[in-house]
Amino acid sequence: MTVDWARGGPDLLVALDRGAGRLGIQLQDQLRAAIRDGRLSTGERLPSTRRLAELLGVSRGTVVDAYEQLLAEGYVESAVGSGTRVAALPSAPPEARPAPGVPPVSPPQARPAEVDFGYGIPDLGSVPLTDWSWAVSEATRTLPTAELGDEDPAGSRHLREVVTAYHRRVRSGCAVAEDAVVVSGFRQGLVFALATLVEHGIGRIALENPGPREHDVIARRAGLDAVPVRVDGDGLDVGRLRETGARAVLLTPAHQCPTGVALGPSRRRDLVAWADEVDGVILEDDYDAEFRYDRQPVGSLQGLNPDRVIALGSVSKTLAPTIRLGWVLAPPRFVAGIVEEQRLSSRGAPGLDQEALALLMETGRFDRHLRRVREVYRARRDVLAAEVELAFGPGRLHGLAAGCHALLHLPDGTSERAVVARAAAMGVRVNGLAHYRFAPEDADTEPRPPALVLGFGNVSEAQIRRGIRILAEAVWHQNAR
Just give the CATH number of 128-365.
3.40.640.10
Give the phi and the psi of residue 40 in degrees, each rounded to 5.
-115, 120
Give the residue among 381, 398, 408 at the shortest CA–CA distance from 470: 408
Buried/exposed code over 396-415 (b: 16+ C-beta within 10 A; e: otherwise) = bbebbbbbbbbbbbbeeebb
Neighbour-count burial of 444, counting CB atoms closer than 10 A to its CB (0-12 exposed, 13-18 middle, 19+ buried) = middle
* DSSP for residue 402: B
In angstroms, how far is CA 32 from the centroid of its own chain? Answer: 41
Rounded to whole angstroms, how far apart are CA atoms 257 and 407? 10
Select from 388, 467, 480, 375 the least CA-distant residue to 430: 467
Rounded Cα distance, 212 and 466, in Å: 27
Distance in angstroms (rounded) separating the CA atoms of residues 377 and 291: 8
Distance CA 59, CA 27 (A): 12
Which pLDDT score, from 0 to 100, does residue 324 have? 93
Taking the CA of residue 333 as centre, how many other CA atoms within 13 Å lie in the half-sphere pointing to its CB? 11
pLDDT of residue 8: 64
Q: What does the alpha-carbon distance between residue 264 and residue 195 come to, in Å, rounded to a whole number?
A: 29
CB distance 464 to 384 below 8 Å: yes
Cβ–Cβ under 8 Å, residues 21 and 31: no
| Residues forming beta bridges with residue 251, ordered by sequence position | 284
Q: Tell me the CATH number of domain 18-96, given options 3.30.300.30, 3.30.1490.20, 1.10.10.10, 1.20.1260.10.
A: 1.10.10.10
CB 198 within 8 A of CB 340: no
Q: What is the number of other CB atoms lying within 10 angstroms of the CB of residue 123?
A: 18
Pairing between strand 225-232 and 235-236? Answer: antiparallel
Q: Is 343 exposed, middle or buried (0-12, 13-18, 19+ CB in 10 A)?
A: middle
Which helix or strand (DSSP H or E) is residue 451 part of? strand 451-455
Q: Which of 362, 378, 354, 338 is nearest to 169 (CA)?
A: 362
Q: Is CATH 3.20.20.140 what the domain over 368-480 is classified as, yes or no?
A: no
Q: Is 126 helix (H, G, I), strand (E, B) or coil?
A: helix
pLDDT of residue 102: 44
Interior angle at CA 37, CA 34 and CA 43, nearest 5: 65
Each domain of the chain, given as residue ranges in start order, spans 18-96, 128-365, 368-480
The pLDDT value recorded for residue 170 is: 86
**CA-CA distances (angstroms) from residue 449 to 386, 394, 414, 415?**
22, 16, 9, 10
- State yes or no: cis peptide before 394, omega within 30 of 0: no
* Residues pairing with 228 in the sheet: 207
Task: Please count the CA atoms within 13 angstroms of the CA of 62 that sit on its side-chain side.
Answer: 18
* 3-state class (DSSP) for residue 311: strand
CB-CB contact of 177 with 201 (8 Å): no
- The rounded distance, in Å, linking the Cα atoms of 397 and 395 is 6
List all residues 6 or more positions away from 204 whose beta carbon is below 8 Å from its beta carbon: 224, 225, 226, 227, 244, 245, 246, 247, 248
Residue pLDDT tens, the chain, 481 long:
677 777 666 777 888 888 888 888 999 999 998 888 888 888 888 888 888 888 889 999 999 999 999 998 889 898 877 788 889 876 544 444 444 444 444 444 445 678 999 888 899 999 999 999 999 999 999 988 877 877 789 999 999 999 999 999 888 899 999 999 999 999 999 999 999 999 999 999 999 999 998 999 999 999 999 999 999 999 999 999 999 999 999 999 988 999 989 899 999 999 999 999 999 999 999 877 677 776 666 788 999 999 999 999 999 999 999 999 999 999 999 999 999 999 998 888 899 999 999 999 999 999 999 999 999 999 999 999 999 999 999 999 998 888 899 999 999 989 999 999 999 999 999 999 999 998 653 444 455 789 999 999 999 999 999 999 999 999 988 776 6
